[in-house]
């Protein structure tokens, strides 16, 4: 028996052949631009869609869900899903899926890359070469922080946090973490760690978890890394802490908002590295994410459970 053809709105071009699998079975309305669809356009294109394949930059709120009477599946091209109103989806019995596991190693690699780059003042060293300011070898030039044998504090010991801990073993680091199974209180971790890396989901409890008080609890030689979600850090407090020298530096793959406006004071903060949310940016990870998102839509549109569901209870 021929399956019914559904209309699927996909909010960005995805790497790899996954969307071809979706096109073989269903009608695909693909947003072709580099920038995400504006919210009103997102609502308009989803209004008569049976399925939505969204990105973290797409605000899938209650108004959008309520204004899309045919919608019966949402697949988020991400591990996180704080851009989706899960209560509104649950009220309509719309399954929501994400893309877990496949970006764990890519994100852990980036977290450690940022840690090393911040520790060794890599951006300043590169800028010195590019601006032809490299005049001689200086005994006190670009003095950074030792990573081997240092202490690493991991906030959020999930899949990515554990992957970062495995990488730390190669540097003989002492690993502290929050949560169960040998975890320590957050304040203890902040006071003891030479490097603090964030891998917790964004929830009401973790919003601004790293605030002014948390930053003041860190060692003045400590470096903060965030590859999780921007709002976990109170960004204004971080900028002030960097300007006052309360911590030695920070490296961010995520910001609040994202991207920041051109005049955001974040860009003038000292000892700060910012990269444009590239934690999952390997070809392997991004193509695998596309496959999982399409698997979720195909299953839901066939009336079957999503293989990678977000549990909305």
Q: What is the largest CA-CA distance in the chain?
A: 76
Instruction: Tell me which residue has tokens 């020298």.
Output: 245
3-state secondary structure of 19: helix
Q: Pick the closest to residue 49 from 88, 8, 89 (CA basis).
A: 8
Q: Is the peptide bond before 63 cis (omega within 30 degrees of 0)?
A: no
Q: Is the dihedral of CA 133, 134, 136, 141 positive or negative?
A: positive
- Are 202 and 143 contacting, i.e. CB atoms less than 8 angstroms apart? no
List active site positions.
229, 258, 277
DSSP letter for 244, please.
Answer: H
Contacts of 62 by beta carbon, 8 Å cutoff, 6+ apart: 85, 87, 88
How far apart (Å, rounded) are the C-alpha atoms in residues 95 and 75? Answer: 8
Which pair of tokens denotes residue 74?
Answer: 């949402």
Helix, strand counts (H, E) of the chain: 11, 11
Contacts of 1 by beta carbon, 8 Å cutoff, 6+ apart: none
- Are 252 and 230 contacting, i.e. CB atoms less than 8 angstroms apart? yes
User: For strand 96-97 and strand 74-76, is the pairing parallel, antiparallel, or unpaired?
Assistant: parallel
Alpha carbon separation from 264 to 56, 58, 235, 291 (Å, rounded)? 21, 22, 10, 36
Q: Pick the closest to residue 222 from 166, 273, 151 (CA basis).
A: 151
- Are 218 and 190 contacting, i.e. CB atoms less than 8 angstroms apart? yes
């Amino acid at each position: 028996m021929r399956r019914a053809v559904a209309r699927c709105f996909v909010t960005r071009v995805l790497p790899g052949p996954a969307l071809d699998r979706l096109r073989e079975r269903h009608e695909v309305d693909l947003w072709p631009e580099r920038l995400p669809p504006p919210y009103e356009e997102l609502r308009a294109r989803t209004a008569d869609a049976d399925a939505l394949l969204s990105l973290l930059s797409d605000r899938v709120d209650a108004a959008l869900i309520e204004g899309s009477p045919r919608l019966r599946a949402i697949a988020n091209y991400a591990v996180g899903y704080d851009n989706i109103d899960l209560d509104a989806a649950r009220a309509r019995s719309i399954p929501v899926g994400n893309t877990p596991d496949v970006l764990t190693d890519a994100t852990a690699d980036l977290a450690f890359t940022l840690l090393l780059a911040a520790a060794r003042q890599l951006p300043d060293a590169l800028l010195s070469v590019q601006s032809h300011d490299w005049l001689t070898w200086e005994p006190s030039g670009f003095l950074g922080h030792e990573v081997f044998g240092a202490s690493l504090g991991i906030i959020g010991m999930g899949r990515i946090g554990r992957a970062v801990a495995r990488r730390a073993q190669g540097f003989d680091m002492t690993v502290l973490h929050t949560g169960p199974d040998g975890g320590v209180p957050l304040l203890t971790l902040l006071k003891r760690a030479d490097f603090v890396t964030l891998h917790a989901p964004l929830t009401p409890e973790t919003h601004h978890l790293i605030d002014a008080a948390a930053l003041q609890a860190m060692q003045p030689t400590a470096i903060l890394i965030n590859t999780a979600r921007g709002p976990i850090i109170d960004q204004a407090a971080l900028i002030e802490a960097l300007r006052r020298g309360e911590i030695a530096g920070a490296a961010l793959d995520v910001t609040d908002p994202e991207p920041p406006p051109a005049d955001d004071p974040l860009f003038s903060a000292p000892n700060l590295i910012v990269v444009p949310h590239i934690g999952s940016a390997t070809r392997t990870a991004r193509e695998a994410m596309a496959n999982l998102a399409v698997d979720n839509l195909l299953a839901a549109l066939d009336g079957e459970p999503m293989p990678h569901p977000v549990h909305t209870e």
